[in-house]
């Protein structure tokens, strides 16, 4: 492998730039020519591919978002566009691609490597959702978690002053990871995630008992995958002796400078992805488990749904009482 390309795809996440930098710098060190593909698979199909220079990855280690830009490309679901994309890679002699994104991006990578085996593909998990099986953490999750924690502290100030119950809706698509760990690390007073049942009446009882015992406010985490926090709040409004407010944190969770953990993760994974390409690997995803870099066939990501850690959930339930 002499020429490789890097793309970021799907929802951006803090640390994607860090991973691009590490992959590119590692590749430069090995004498490779590195191409950047803009807007994920859309750029591969539309031939928006450019040769990267070291200056393109200089000063981006701590920048949120992705300088390569990102998109969700529907055309890539069709084989004829994938063939067009492969032709665009071939004309530059690109033999390896590092795909940084979520499991949707991995599916595209899988099709590409199966239909065009001359092009090697490695997946690196970049999403704030932490919903990819085969890795304890995805790049961006820790930064998003810290963003939620900061919001929780601010909300708790005002919630306490006004003796209110706040419902905070956080992202995660259909995964409750971000909400669960926000609840644990931020001291949430209730948790709704798609993977587990939590009865509204139980929360109402908890809130009412707390008020009797003198606790002034509540901060309840709602993962977007269970539905809207506004709906949950309106169902509870008449059952609790507390005024209610709802905050939807939204895309602020996707931005910001990557945390130390995300930078380390992105740096290790980005470089390792290129190392494995050079060793001839293809159709694999990189992960980190028990602090060791791991790899799985790329299909592992969607064939095995990542499970919520039951012990962590139980602890969140106990501590949020
Ligand atoms: O997958 C990342 C994510 O931020 C999810 O948490 C969220 O459901 C979704 O992307 C939002 O997507 P969009 O940027 O298209 O609004």
Angle at CA of residue 8, ends 4 and 11, nearest 5°: 170
- Ligand 1 nearest atom to the CA of residue 253, by list position: 4
* pLDDT reported for residue 315: 98
- Ligand 1 nearest atom to the CA of residue 128, by list position: 2
* pLDDT reported for residue 47: 98
* pLDDT reported for residue 272: 98
* pLDDT reported for residue 111: 95
Q: Per residue in 128-169, pLDDT tens?
A: 999 999 999 999 999 999 999 999 999 999 999 999 999 999
Mutate to test the pocket of ligand 1, among 173, 251, 253, 301 (most ligand atoms within 8 A of CB): 173
40 lines ligand 1 (CB under 6 A): no
Q: 131: closest CA among 195, 68, 76?
A: 195
* pLDDT reported for residue 279: 98
Q: How far is the CA of 173 from the centre of ligand 1 (A)?
A: 7
Say whether 179 sits in a helix, a strand or coil: helix
* pLDDT reported for residue 21: 98
* pLDDT reported for residue 208: 96
* pLDDT reported for residue 97: 98
* pLDDT reported for residue 28: 98
Centroid of chain to Cα 172: 8
* pLDDT reported for residue 280: 96
Q: Which residues of the chain have pLDDT under 70?
A: none
In angstroms, the Cα distances linking 297 to 138, 140, 146, 287 are 16, 22, 31, 11
Ligand 1 atom 2 nearest Cα: 11
Decide: 316 and 190 in contact? Cβ < 8 Å: no
CB-based contacts of 282: which residues, under 8 Å, 6+ apart?
Answer: 96, 113, 117, 119, 120, 121, 122
Q: How far is the CA of 11 from the centre of ligand 1 (A)?
A: 6
* pLDDT reported for residue 127: 98
**Both tokens assigned to 199:** 């009865």
102 lines ligand 1 (CB under 6 A): yes
């Amino acid at each position: 492998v002499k020429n490789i390309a890097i793309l970021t795809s799907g929802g951006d996440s803090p640390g994607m730039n860090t991973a691009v930098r590490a992959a590119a710098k590692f590749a430069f060190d090995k004498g490779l020519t590195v191409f950047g593909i803009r807007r994920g698979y859309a750029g591969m199909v539309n031939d928006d591919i450019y040769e990267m220079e070291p200056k393109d990855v200089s000063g981006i280690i701590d920048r949120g978002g992705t300088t390569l830009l990102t998109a969700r490309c529907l055309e890539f679901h069709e084989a004829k566009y994938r063939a067009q994309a492969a032709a665009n890679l071939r004309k530059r002699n690109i033999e390896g691609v590092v795909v940084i994104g979520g499991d949707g991006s991995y599916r595209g990578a899988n099709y590409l490597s199966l239909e065009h085996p001359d092009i090697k593909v490695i997946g690196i998990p970049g999403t704030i959702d932490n919903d990819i099986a085969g890795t304890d953490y995805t790049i961006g999750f820790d930064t998003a978690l810290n963003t939620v924690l900061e919001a929780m502290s601010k909300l708790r100030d005002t919630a306490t002053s006004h003796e209110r119950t706040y419902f905070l809706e956080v992202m995660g698509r259909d995964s409750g990871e971000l909400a669960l760990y926000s609840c644990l690390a931020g001291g949430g007073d209730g948790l709704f995630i798609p993977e587990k049942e939590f009865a509204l009446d139980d929360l109402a009882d908890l809130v009412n008992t707390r008020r009797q015992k003198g606790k002034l406010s509540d901060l309840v985490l709602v993962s977007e995958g269970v539905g809207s926090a506004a709906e949950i709040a309106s169902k509870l409004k008449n059952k609790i002796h507390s005024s209610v407010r709802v905050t939807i944190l939204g895309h602020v969770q996707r931005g910001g400078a990557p945390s130390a953990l995300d930078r380390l993760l992105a740096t290790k994974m980005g470089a390792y992805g290129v190392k494995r390409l050079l060793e001839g690997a293809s159709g694999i995803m990189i992960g980190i488990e028990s602090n060791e870099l791991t790899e799985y066939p790329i299909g592992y990501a969607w064939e095995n749904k990542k499970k919520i850690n039951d012990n962590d959930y139980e602890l969140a339930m106990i501590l949020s009482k």
